[in-house]
């Protein structure tokens, strides 16, 4: 990201980033929080009138290696920089199939619900949702037009029993929903 990334809560402790030098951000309106104590942040939240203050987190998601790889992949393979694309990075395991196609598999029930929600979201790109039928397993979201290719469906479908607990059916099937049509597919 070079110096395009601005950390508004600690930016005054760092050299001026590109948004500051371009005049997009007023350095006087950013902060210099530096310690692990959240006292300063809690005081700021109260000053801003926030009633519900979330519990402190472990820090910036961009410092987490797995998450930062997902962000790098997004920047490398697409020009999309919308909220939907960044929200998707928070859920599941991400597998890049090709430049235009990514496969995301849920890690737990919460991820599975989030992937369903992301598939149904109004401003989503082309997606296809695969849901296990007749056995417990993760949902898979195919992002991009790759679902039309048999090899993408085979790999995405194979991930479901791979990560499923107790998929002992001889002919596992998934429901494939591309936003227009729904059909059962053997995997």
pLDDT in the model for residue 104: 95
pLDDT in the model for residue 58: 63
Tokens matching residue 127: 């997606």
pTM of the model: 0.72
**Residues 23, 25, 29, 32, CA torsion sign:** negative
> If you average pLDDT over residues 151-179, what whole number do you get?
82
pLDDT tops 70 at residue 146: no
> If you average pLDDT over residues 10-30, what whole number do you get?
89
Q: Which of the four pLDDT bands, split at 50, 70 and 90, describes residue 151?
A: confident
pLDDT tops 90 at residue 142: yes
* 142 Cβ neighbours under 8 A, 6+ residues apart: 101, 102, 103, 104, 127, 128, 129, 130, 152, 153, 156
Question: How far is residue 182's CA from residue 77's CA, in Å, rounded to a whole number?
Answer: 28
């Amino acid at each position: 990201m070079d110096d395009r990334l601005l950390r508004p809560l600690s930016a005054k402790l760092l050299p001026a980033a590109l948004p500051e030098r371009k005049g997009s951000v007023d350095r006087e309106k950013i902060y210099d929080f530096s310690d692990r104590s959240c006292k300063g942040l809690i005081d700021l939240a109260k000053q801003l009138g926030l009633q519900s203050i979330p519990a402190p987190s472990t820090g910036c998601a961009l410092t987490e290696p797995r998450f930062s790889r997902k962000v790098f992949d997004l920047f490398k393979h697409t020009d999309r920089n919308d909220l939907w694309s960044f929200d998707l990075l928070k859920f599941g395991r991400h597998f890049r199939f090709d430049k235009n196609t990514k496969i995301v598999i849920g890690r737990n029930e919460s991820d599975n619900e989030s992937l369903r929600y992301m598939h149904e979201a109004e401003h989503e790109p082309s997606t296809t949702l695969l849901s296990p039928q007749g056995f417990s397993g993760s949902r898979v979201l195919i992002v991009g037009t790759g679902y039309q290719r048999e090899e993408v469906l085979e790999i995405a479908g194979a991930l479901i029993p791979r990560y499923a607990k107790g998929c002992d059916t001889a002919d596992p099937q998934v429901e494939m929903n591309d936003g227009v049509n729904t059909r059962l597919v053997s995997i």
